[in-house]
Structure formats: structure tokens, C-alpha cells
Amino acid sequence: MNDQMMYDLVGIGIGPFNLGMAALAEDLDIEAIYFDQKEEFNWHPGMLIEGADLQVPFLADLVTIANPKSPYTFINYLHENDRLYQFYFFNKLDIPRKEYNAYTRWVASKLSNCQFGKKVIDVTYHKEERYYEVIIEDIKRSETHKVKAKHVVLGTGSLPNVPEGFDKYPIEDVLHSNHYLYHEKQLKQSDSVTVIGSGQSAAELFYDLLNDQRHYKYKLNWFTRSAGFFQLESAKLGQEVFSPDYISYFHRLSYEEREEALSTLGPLRKGIDPETLKAIYDLLYHRSAEGNYPEATIQPMTEVNGVEKVDGVYRLACRQWQEDHSFTVDSEKVLLATGYKPHFPEWFTRMHDEIEWEDEKRYKVTLNQQLVFKDGRENHFFTLTNLEHSHGAGATNLALSVERNKRILNTVAGEEIFPIKTNTVFQQFSSKQM
């Protein structure tokens, strides 16, 4: 980090999105640097359950979509770690989440433009001089530094979404799925565990608990307010909404049309992998054939609206919304698979009045990931966070994150370093193309 130089790009936060951008930028004629307050890179370590796979093919690594010749591809990771033959015989497109984490940690360890243990505590725009001043705190040394940047990219990711009232209890008792493996032993040694949620994470947690239930004998519940435990739509034509063509089409729609489109894409955006649902059912069936198996309750259409501690257990206030029937369930442990919410640093909220907004929570974003400022500044502030309303169902898709990184780096460089592909799918989304 050079306090005196003007960087072309400063990245704030190093998750998979900014890490992929850093890998692509490493060999470009762009002065880029990325900061994260964590001491090292780690991708959802609390959810790296044995046997859980990534839900996208390995080609959706950090760089391949943009540059398959990069030294930071997943294939090169396998090559350098002497795992190519094992992967060849593994013969699957989907890879273990643990291996994806190992791959991303490997990439992070090789990049000179990623700095960990460095927290960005403020960003100020100097309009006359046309640069951003970024103030960084060195966590270990308690020192602050300033760097200048022509452009900034926000990649601070998301935080666990814990419903109101559930956050006041000890994390070892009432916890978000993000912390599962840190408290797995205590969960399985309890008398009862309740999983709340309907997506892939909820299903994986339930299956892991169900699989070990016979060894520990805890009572197990799974509640979701969704109408059912539905599988993720994986038809190939349907998956084409996770493409650059669809993102370009979606972005051209009005805000109201985009909101309506998102509501129709639920089966493609949410749901559970069919193999996970099959594994749960098969385990339940085999267990039912044996008889005398531990109790497991699975119930959809059920809201969990509150919690209180009563006589050493947690009493959950539930409501089956279709019948409009309220009831309570006692559970020693509560596991929240309730998703995530965007994380914005405090300093970013001070920019609120400088930015154009589409509604009270969603800022206006260009196709190239730039926030739209009222002063029309040429020094861009890119964002990789809170993009579903502007870029559609693929906002968190790993392959499309590489596509976004291509656009950002092209914009910073002022030239098309990475070609932007069109006609990447077999269908067309707009009749205006006809």
C-alpha cells in the first residue's frame, strides 16, 4: 500500500466478487488494491458441511468466464495441487463447497493486491481534485493510513438476517445458519432443535441434523412460512435467466417492471436442490421402515413470529397461516436459516443524499455497476452489493459476478480489455429484437 500514489481502483471488502476482480486486475495495467478487515479470506466457513456442493458448475470460478488462460482458474488450482486426476475421475460439474473455499483461499494467498486486516473506516469524495480519499485502519497496529483512488468498488457483501427479537439470546442457543459448524456439537447434544427457513441452507442443515439424530436422540423440527418445500427449477432453458443477455434485458425495464419480473422468478431464484430433497425423503423413508425412530416434524405454511425463554427452553410463537391457527413449540436450540441482508458501512450511509434512489432502500445503478450521483461525477463508485432490483435474479450468481467484474475493469481502464459477449443463450427475451 502506497499512501502517496493515486490508485485507479480501491476495492472495499474482499468476498468472492472482489477477490475475482482482484485476480483479473493483477496482470492488467491498472493500479488496483483491495482491503478487508478480516485477517484472512474464508468463504462461509460456518456452512462448509461435509458433502455439500456448490450449486453452480466449477466454470463459475473467479476468472474463467473472463479469462480461461488466467493462472487463477479452478483447473489451475487443481493442477498446482496435484488433484487433476482425482477431479477427472470425480466426473462432476458441481464441486464440494469445502473445495471451493480452499480454491478461493489459494487465490487470495497469491494476490499482491489484496490486503487483509485492513478496515476501511471512511471514504470522502474530493470533487475539485476528482478523487476519493479512503481511510484505512490497520487492525493489528491500530494505525490509520490514507490512499487516493480515482474509482471505488464496494464489495462489503451481506450480514445474517436475524428476525427481530431473536438476536437478544445467546448465539450458542439461537443462531444463524452462518454459525452452524461453530456450534454443531452443542446443537446435537441438546434435547431439541428447530430449523427455521425454506431454502437450500435450511435443507442442508435439516439433513445434517436428521442424519445424526439417531446417535443423539434430539427432537427435530423444520418450519417454513413458504407454501411448501419446493425444489429449485433447474431446467436448462430456465437457467438462461442467469446470463448476460437476460441481465441486459432486465436492466432496461422500468423499476416497476423489474419488481414484477422478480416476483415471477421465484422457482429459479429460491428453492432446494432436488438431490437434497431426495436425500431427506429417502432417509426419512428408510428410518420409517425400521420403526422406533426419533421424532422429526416438517411443517410448511408456518410462520415463526417470536421467541421467549421459558423454563430453560425457547418457546416459539408459530402460526399456520393458511388455517390462521396459532400455536407454540418449545425447543432447546433454534437454528435460523433466514438468509442475509446487504451490509453497508456507516460511512456509506452518509452518502445517501448524494445518490439517486429508485425507492427508499434501493439505489439507482447503471448496467456497469456504477451508482448514479446527483453531481454527475466522472469518478465512479461501483457496487457489488444490493443489486437484485437492478440486475435481477443473477445478482449473487458466481458466474455473473465475473461478467460484472469485466464491465467494471473495462470502465476503469477506459477500453474493452475483456470483450462483452452478446447472444450467449438460445432464447431471446425482448420482442423488440425481432
Which domains are assigned to the chain?
Answer: 6-157+343-433 (3.50.50.60), 161-232+270-336 (3.50.50.60)
CA distances from 276 to 203, 246, 268 (A): 7, 28, 16
Q: What is the pLDDT of residue 395?
A: 86
Q: What is the pLDDT of residue 432?
A: 76
Share of the chain above pLDDT 70, in %: 99
Q: What is the pLDDT of residue 324?
A: 97
pLDDT value at 434 more than 60: no
Residue 161 makes CB contacts below 8 A (sequence gap 6+) with 176, 338, 339, 340, 341
Q: What is the pLDDT of residue 263?
A: 87
Over residues 5-24, mean pLDDT: 97
Q: What are 346's three cell numbers?
A: 456507516
Which of the residue ranges 315-319, 363-367, 389-393, 405-409 would you say has the lowest mean pLDDT?
389-393
Q: What is the pLDDT of residue 113?
A: 96
Q: What is the pLDDT of residue 133?
A: 97
Q: What is the pLDDT of residue 72?
A: 98
CA distances from 255 to 262, 342, 385, 392 (A): 11, 19, 18, 11
Over residues 303-325, mean pLDDT: 97
Q: Of 248, 238, 272, whose CA–CA distance to 52 is shortest? A: 272
Q: What is the pLDDT of residue 267?
A: 76
- Helix 16-25 and helix 97-110, axial crossing angle in degrees, nearest 10: 40
Computed over every residue of the chain, the mean pLDDT equals 94
pLDDT value at 26 more than 60: yes
Q: What is the pLDDT of residue 1?
A: 67
Residue where the block lists cell 445517501: 352
Q: What is the pLDDT of residue 421?
A: 87
pLDDT value at 409 more than 70: yes
Q: What is the pLDDT of residue 83?
A: 97
Over residues 54-77, mean pLDDT: 96
- Helix 16-25 and helix 398-413, axial crossing angle in degrees, nearest 10: 40
Q: What is the pLDDT of residue 195?
A: 98
Which of the residue ranges 23-27, 202-206, 427-431 would you say has the lowest mean pLDDT?
427-431
326 forms beta bridges with 319
Spatial separation of the C-alpha atoms in residues 284 and 289, rounded to whole Å: 9
Read off the pLDDT band of 433 (50, 70, 90): low
pLDDT value at 359 more than 60: yes
pLDDT value at 336 more than 60: yes
Read off the pLDDT band of 2 (50, 70, 90): low
Which of the residue ranges 214-218, 267-271, 419-423 would you say has the lowest mean pLDDT?
267-271
pLDDT value at 151 more than 90: yes
pLDDT in tens, 244-296: 999 999 999 999 999 999 988 877 778 899 999 999 999 999 999 887 777 89
Spatial separation of the C-alpha atoms in residues 236 and 120, rounded to whole Å: 41
Q: What is the pLDDT of residue 60?
A: 95
pLDDT value at 189 more than 80: yes
